[in-house]
Structure 1
Amino acid sequence: MRRTLFAGAAALLAAAGTFTFVLTRAEAATQTLQSLAAANGRYFGSATDNPELTDTAYTAILGGGEFGQTTPGNSMKWDTTEPTRNAFSFTKGDAVVTFAQAHNMKVRGHTLLWHNQLPGWVSQLPATEVQAAMENHITAVATHFRGKVFAWDVVNEPFNDDGTFRSTSPFYAAMGTDYIAAAFRTARAADPDAKLYINDYNTDGLGAKADAMYNLVKTLKSQGVPIDGVGFQAHLAIQYGFPSQMQQNLQRFADLGVDVAITELDVRMVLPRDSTKDATQATYYSNVVKACVAVTRCVGITIWDYTDKYSWVPSTFSGQGAALPWDENLQQKPTAYNAIVTALGGTVSSPSPSVSSASPSPSRSVSPSPSASSSPPPAGSCTATYKIVGSWPGGFQGEVNVTGKTGWTVTWTFANGQTISQLWGGTVTQSGASVTVKPASWNATPPATFGFLASWNGTNAIPAVSCS
């Protein structure tokens, strides 16, 4: 598969300013997040919801090939599907499924059992009636969507952050922890072919809540409960640091004999945006994707809607937002988007600012580097290869690939006054023309790649690089 970044109609924000571009239809036919994920044996998806489906500009991107999977954010939850006891409504869920089928997208069912978004009648049930109502609900919903969803979030968010079970759940209050096994067995009976998941947030890295989930899954497996996967929501925030040892955490769950998936990914920040926050956000997106790709049983990644226009973050976290790879105007954020592409194994190219997004089908005018510079590989050291992957008047994007040594340091000296404005995959220090890059914690072991945006004027010679 040819791996060159394409970016749809996107805005690139760099030191030189803001500009937009679109790609030719031939490029668009072969370059999507989904195609790159599929080349890695995974899917790449976006959540959606029914109000969004009336936005034609939004649906053109959602169903345009970038995504191979979707999750309905609300339309399969209990308050929507059974607002009154034994009176079921599937109209909204069916609308999402119909859209997905028309655009060759798989659907994750979300969610059969959750302590939130329950109609009032559920919480008013006597404890003796809760199990029957729960099993009736799961059976009806899973049976209706049987054959239309490839996976179900059967139980959603069973734990508090300290690893204790949520006592506020009416199901836990009535049945104790047995409600989880009962829910999975009921779902399997209703839909034998769907993959059955347990799903939670703040379990992405090592910690008390992840340990509790791990022990639960291990116990369920030992009891023969039909659990097929664990969903990691990955609602991240750059101000709180990246989850500890995400890849190792995903791997230990996979080693229990279950699939793992990134189910609700977004990376929020305290507003307003700036280039530093964007670069950190891009690193987080890259970290998550790389962790999934590195774990054989990580089957896919779903961002929690693709655009800030419909993000849940601003209404939930005051003063925060800008959490997704597309902005509120449905324009790609090149730093975040390109980080995902690179982590999926794609190659990033950059646009010419002279191309307007209003044009019917123009081609990009990019100036990829015909050559690269690499350091010789001294014994016990490493090799670093520098290349320019795209160039436009006043700016360019560079990439450096490192092999050979864990904990590398890469240095070079610009000859033509170039200045780095953003860098992902490492930390950069630039003093005059001299540049030093050290790896991000997740990127210290080769083969490693970091990328950057920089300014140039007149001449953009490739420097000699050193790696130690």
Structure 2
Amino acid sequence: MKLQSLRRAVFGLSTAALLVAGTAVPGHAAGTADPVLRDLAAAKGVYYGTAVTASKLTGTYAAVTAGQFDSVTPGNEMKWGSVEPVRGDFRWSGADAVVDFAEANGQKVRGHTLVWHSQLPSWVENGSWTAESLRTVMTDHIATEAGRYKGRIHHWDVVNEAFEEDGTRRPSVFQRVVGDGYIADAFRAARAADPAAKLYLNDYNVEGINAKSDAMYALVRSLKAQGVPIDGVGLQAHLIVGQVPSTLQANIKRFSDLGVDVAVTELDIRMRLPATEAKLAQQKADFKAVTQACVAVARCTGVTVWGFTDSDSWIPDFFPGEGAATPYDEGFRPKPAYHGIAEALGWSGGPGPGPDPVGGCAVTYAVQNQWNGGFTAQVTVRNTGTAPVDGWRVGWAWPSGQSVTQAWNASVSQSGTSVTAANLPYNAVVAAGGSVTFGLNGAWSGANTPPAAFTLNGAACAVSMPTAG
């Protein structure tokens, strides 16, 4: 797909006329179009993804996820304790929701994770096992989960966090009972369950060259020599501001030289709170450096941030007094780090003079007709920026279960409550100060409540409700 075809504005709807103004974007000049990370990444031949929480995939959270990222990773929904808390009792709703969302929005899915020492159900962690019985339980679990999503997962983190900091094997229940061979067994079971998925070994504190990454390197080399089907290595990259390893790119390169792909799988860069301009500037440089290191190595396939917004970050709960670790703040406003990522992917818009609001668009939405179970609406979006919009993408979420049944002057798709409207070939360009109008018919039941949040090309927009006169 051409880059231009993905550059689409995002606006929203309500049941009364409403105005969508620009977002406050730190470090971005007023009137400058925000970059779309998934487009920039695709142009570089990599993906840019985010971890997500299934229960939050509505409203602005869903719109930014769909608009900015071309890969998603379920943060918790595919872990053993989530999908099989009781032996043989599989619970798929959260994982299904993430996979369905990704497919509806043209995104890849990184499956995370099949075998991990943490977030295991008690029946696995505390069971009375022989090596053979635990191996069977493990491979049966892999066969069931990976088999359920066969053909729908791009990468699987097959084994997660197998090493201690000194490079010795972590004494998980699998290591203690089955022994060193559990890792090869897990990869073989995953390949049998889904031959098309790329199979990864994933760990943290292995971003630079050190004792732990040396042990991981030796294991990958050994697995390759044994013919074990390992396709990639995941470097989690839970980093601290100002501490990106100087050997990151060299480390990516040496793993790729073994004949495996490499991905940065869980990137966040935390700081001691409160955040300051200086810390945010350093964080921008760090996100840029990590992204550049991946882009520089041919077999680095992409980067995933571990949550794109500070409102969905694990850091404050695990590191008291630290946080602000993601590219967006808690109000879904891009931070300087977001622009650092974009610059590493080739965006040349520059950092701008400071945290000025972006005057991107003004949207008027009016219900022209409403009847029992249905309505007709007309939407006009005006480009209030100083440059033309070349291709627009509209995203919103219905808060009351409404659905679009017909549309004109736009291509509209819906998955659950999330809706995307895109330009047609003849109305892709909206001049500065110009506008474009489209209409829709919709269905409703019980209420026709207006959406509460909207985005423009993946960036959240502020919303104001004009007073009726």
SS in structure 2 opposite 1:226? coil
Correspondent of 1:238 among 238, 241, 244: 241
Contact 2:187-2:228 at 8 Å conserved across structures: yes
Q: Deviations for 1:104-144, whole angstroms, at most 9, x for unmatched residues? A: 11101000000000110002222312111101101100000
Match for residue 100 of structure 2 among 98, 101, 104: 98
Change (3 A) 1:280 1:7: farther
SS of 1:163 mapped into structure 2: coil
| 2:349 paired with 1:336 | no
Provide the C-alpha distance between the structure 2 equivalents of 1:7 and 1:233, rounded to a whole number of angstroms.
Answer: 32
Which residue of 1 is the match for residue 24 of structure 2? 11
Q: Does 2:366 align with 1:362?
A: no
Name the counterpart of 1:177.
Answer: 180
| 2:383 partner SS | coil
Alignment map for 1:3-402 (pairs within 5 Å) = 10-13=23-26, 31-53=35-57, 55-64=58-67, 66-128=68-130, 129-167=133-171, 169-238=172-241, 241-333=243-335, 335-349=336-350, 350=352, 353=356, 356=359, 359-360=362-363, 361-365=382-386
Provide the C-alpha distance between the structure 2 equivalents of 1:204 and 1:309, rounded to a whole number of angstroms: 25
Q: Distance in 2 between matches of 1:10 and 1:317?
A: 30
SS at match of 1:331: coil
Amino acid of the residue matched to residue 71 of structure 1?
T
Asked which structure has the greater RCO (Cα within 8 Å, sep 6+), the reply is 2
Letter of the aligned partner of 1:268 in structure 2?
R
Structure 1: which amino acid aligns with 2:342?
V
Deviation at 1:161, TM superposition (A): 1.2
Preserved contact between residue 20 and residue 357 of structure 1 (Cα < 8 Å):
no
Q: Which amino acid aligns with 1:92?
A: G
Answer whether contact 2:102 2:108 (CA < 8 A) is retained: yes
Which amino acid in structure 2 is aligned with residue 346 of structure 1? W
Q: Deviations over 1:52-105 (max 9, x none)?
A: 12x4111111112x1100000111110111111122121110010111111111
The offset of 1:354, in angstroms, is 6.8
Please say which of residues 246-255 and 339-348 is displaced more in the overlay. 339-348
Inter-partner Cα distance in structure 2 for 1:139 and 1:123: 19
Contact 1:232 1:264 in 2 (8 A): yes
Contact 1:221–1:227 under 8 Å retained in 2? yes
Distance 1:22 1:74, change over 3 A: farther
* Counterpart amino acid of residue 135 in structure 2: Q
Q: Which moved more, 1:317-326 or 1:79-88?
A: 79-88
Q: CA deviation at 1:7?
A: 11
Give the conservation status (yes or no) of the 8 Å contact 1:20–1:356.
Answer: no
Q: Deviations over 1:185-204 (max 9, x none)?
A: 01111111100000001000
Matches of 1:299 and 1:214, distance apart in 2? 18
- Distance in 1 (CA, whole Å) between partners of 2:74 and 2:108 is 11
Letter in 2 for 1:314: P
Distance across 1 between alignment mates of 2:71 and 2:31:
23
Q: Secondary structure at the match of 2:284?
A: helix
Q: Is the 8 A contact 2:261 2:299 kept in 1?
A: yes
Q: What is the DSSP-based 3-state SS (H/G/I as helix, E as strand, rest coil) of the residue aligned with 2:87?
A: coil
Per-residue deviation, 1:331: 0.5
Percent of aligned pairs sharing the same letter: 48
Q: Distance in 2 between matches of 1:103 and 1:37?
A: 16
Q: 1:89 to 1:12 in 2, by over 3 A?
A: closer
Q: Is the 8 A contact 1:7 1:22 kept in 2?
A: no
1:244 offset after TM fit, Å? 3.0
CA RMSD of aligned residues (A): 2.5
Secondary structure of the 1:11 match is: coil
Residue number in structure 2 paired with 1:387: none
Runs of 5+ in structure 1 lacking a partner?
A: 367-468
The Cα offsets for residues 216-255 of structure 1, whole Å up to 9 and x where unpaired, read as: 100100111000000000111116x221310000000000
Secondary structure, aligned partner of 2:167: coil
> Per the alignment, in what secondary structure is the counterpart of residue 262 of structure 1?
strand
CA distance in 1 between partners of 2:312 and 2:3 (Å): 32
Aligned letter for 2:157? D
CA distance in 2: counterparts of 1:101 and 1:293, whole angstroms: 25
Taking a change above 3 Å as real, the CA distance of residues 308 and 292 of structure 1, as seen in their structure-2 partners, is same
Q: Equivalents in 2 of 1:115, 1:58: separation in Å?
A: 30
Q: 1:298 to 1:7 in 2, by over 3 A?
A: farther
Residue 323 of structure 2 aligns to which amino acid in structure 1? G
CA distance in 1, matches of 2:333, 2:9: 9
Say if 1:67 and 1:105, in contact at 8 Å, map to a contact too. yes
How far, CA to CA, are the matches of 1:274 and 1:82 in structure 2?
43
Aligned counterpart, 1:398:
none
